[in-house]
Amino acid sequence: MTDVETAHTDGASHGMRSNAELIGREDINDVAAVLAVVGRQETDGRHLVTDQCPAEFTWDYEKGARAKLDKLYEKAKKAQWNGQTDLPWDTEVDQEKVVLANAEANNDALRWSDTDVAGTVLEKWDEKDWLRFGIENQNWLLSQFMHGEQGALLCTAKIVETVPWIDAKYYAATQVMDEARHVEVFSKYLDEKLSGHYPLNGHLGLLLDDILADSRWDMTYLGMQIMVEGLALAAFGFIHAMTTEPLLKQLLRYVMADEARHVAFGVLSLQELYQELSASELRERQEFAFEAAIRMKDRMLMQEMWERLEVPPGDVLKIVSQAPERDDFQILLFSKIVPNLKKLGLLDAADGWLRGKFTEMGAIAFEHLSDSTEDADAFADGSPVERQVA
Ligand SMILES: [Fe+2]
Ligand SMILES: [Fe+2]
């Protein structure tokens, strides 16, 4: 019996669960089912999750017993930056111009010329409607970043409580500060530079709830540091490369410097533990990683945005069911996750069940990329401001 089994009640001796049991539908590509889940904000403005995981004191205060975590902690203390004063908030952002400039810079017409919109309301959209689409797209995306960062803030505060090792508690404490700063800067950017907020995406919400409610401390790491933050790091990288807006570019670069460390923290912490887990315990981690991957893929359909644009669900279904190049882009977002799952032994445990799932999703080729324990950004000296990363 390992310490991660504490208070855990189900799944002691089951086989792999079906897609229906794990994600609520048998066919991963059942787009109508994915579109039917739309995020809504609670009317009283609060969302409560009951946390099942016991908080744990340790009486072993020996700093550096886990040398790599200790090194990461020392780096993290010097890597702090100030979201209020280190970013050029006086930059003027004209959202319409940015949307048009981004489209032009990326050879990516605002209008989806390669998508067949015949018979949908998009057929009648004029330039103004497409511009609104570009703007709402930004509002939606940055809103999801902000909510996801709050998820990371809560998850990492939970890790401070639940992880048994002092070096990990120390490191996690620095990440709590990082995440507070990330929520702060995305919120400020939305309020001051963009033109509207969206509620948390329904699929991402299901995932964050599952991560926070789980009774096993390592599941917080697996769900947040490996899966959610692994995907966020890739997504921030794309937006950073794509955007023509200098404030957002700088903001994302600073956030990415922190996220690289967070993902490395996840891999370094879980590596040790996963070597000791039984086959059935590893199977449960594989299933959780799979569920997380599907939830994150599902959220990319931007359900809340289509609703606000008043595009009927049948039309959305028609539009998002085509567009193979957007599918390729979605797969690229798993480029950080797959090598880390491999490093943790999760691709190949249980006869390669998870390897099979990522093969089906078309993302298995990323297994050959380097994992996050080798990420130079994670172990860099000094703050991104002093390093003048751009
Ligand atoms: Fe973050
Ligand atoms: Fe993070």
Q: What is the CATH number of the domain that holds 166?
A: 1.20.1260
Cα-to-centroid distance, 1 and ligand 2 (Å): 31
Distance from residue 229's CA to the centre of ligand 2 (Å): 6
**Ligand 2 centre and the CA of 254: distance in Å?**
11
**What is the spatial distance between Cα 226 and Cα 239, in angstroms, rounded to a whole number?**
20
Q: Which ligand is nearest to the CA of 228?
A: 2
> What distance in Å separates the CA atoms of residue 117 and residue 346, rounded to the nearest whole number?
41
Q: C-alpha dihedral over 174, 177, 182, 183, to 10 degrees?
A: 140
Alpha-carbon span 252 to 264, nearest angstrom: 18
- Report if residue 11 sits inside a domain: no
**Does a structural domain hold residue 294?**
yes
Round to whole Å and give the CA distance between 20 and 287. Answer: 12
Q: How far is the CA of 221 from the centre of ligand 1 (A)?
A: 13
Note the ligand closest to the C-alpha atom of 174. Answer: 2
CA of 121 to the centre of ligand 1 (A): 37
pLDDT attached to residue 1:
38
The series of mean pLDDT values per 10 residues for the chain, 390 residues long, is 44 70 85 87 93 95 97 96 97 97 81 80 93 96 98 98 98 98 98 97 95 96 97 95 96 97 97 94 96 91 94 89 72 93 95 93 93 91 88
Q: Starting from the CA of residue 175, give the closest ligand.
A: 2
Residue (of 133, 138, 94) closest to 110 by Cα position: 133
Closest Cα partner for 104 from 308, 292, 257, 242? 242
Which two three-digit tokens encode residue 228? 């959610």
Burial 197-220 (b: 16+ CB within 10 A, else e): ebbbbbbbbbbbebbbebbbbbbb
* Ligand with an atom nearest the CA of residue 186: 1
Spacing, Cα 232 to ligand 1 middle (Å) = 8
CA contacts within 13 A on the Cβ side of 291: 25
Q: Could you tell me the CA-to-CA distances from 284 to 219, 222, 278, 289 in Å, in that order?
A: 10, 11, 10, 9
* pLDDT score of 324: 63
Cβ atoms within 10 Å, residue 143: 23
Q: Examine residue 1 and state whether it is found in any structural domain, yes or no.
A: no
Q: How far is the CA of 173 from the centre of ligand 1 (A)?
A: 13
Q: Ligand 1 centroid vs 122 CA: distance in angstroms?
A: 35
Whether residue 15 lies inside any domain: the answer is: no
Q: Ligand nearest 225 Cα, by number?
A: 2
Q: How far apart are CA 131 and CA 337, in angstroms?
A: 33
Q: What does the pLDDT read at residue 130?
A: 92
- Cα(179) to ligand 2 centroid in Å equals 6
Q: How far is the CA of 237 from the centre of ligand 2 (A)?
A: 14
Specify the amino acid at residue 114.
D
CA distance 190 to 41: 17
Is residue 44 situated within a structural domain? Answer: no
Smallest Cα–Cα separation from 212: which of 200, 221, 220?
A: 220
Cα–Cα distance measured from residue 24 to residue 16, given in angstroms and rounded to the nearest whole number? 15
How far apart (Å, rounded) are the C-alpha atoms in residues 333 and 234?
Answer: 5
Q: How far does the centroid of ligand 1 lie from the alpha carbon of residue 262, in Å? A: 8
How far, in Å, is the centroid of ligand 1 from the Cα of 215? Answer: 23
Question: 27 C-alpha to center of ligand 2: Å?
Answer: 31
Tens of pLDDT along 260-290?
A: 999 999 999 999 899 999 999 999 999 999 9
Is residue 368 situated within a structural domain? yes
pLDDT of 106 reads: 82
pTM of the model: 0.93
In the reported structure, the alpha carbon of residue 256 is separated from the centroid of ligand 1 by a whole-number distance in angstroms of 8
- Structural domain harbouring 300: 121-390
Q: Which ligand is nearest to the CA of 149?
A: 1
Q: How far is ligand 1, taken at its centre, from the CA of residue 178, in Å?
A: 6
For residue 231, how far is its CA from the centre of ligand 2 (angstroms)?
11
- Residues 151 and 60: their CA atoms lie apart, in Å, by 29
CA distance 100 to 78: 38
CA of 6 to the centre of ligand 2 (A): 26
pLDDT of residue 191: 98
Q: Is residue 260 part of a domain?
A: yes
356 domain residue, yes or no: yes
The answer to whether 142 and 198 have CB atoms below 8 angstroms apart is: no
Encoding tokens for residue 53?
Answer: 């995981």
SS3 content of the chain, % helix, strand, coil (to 5): 65, 0, 35
Total domains in the chain come to 1
In angstroms, the CA 314 to CA 32 distance is 8
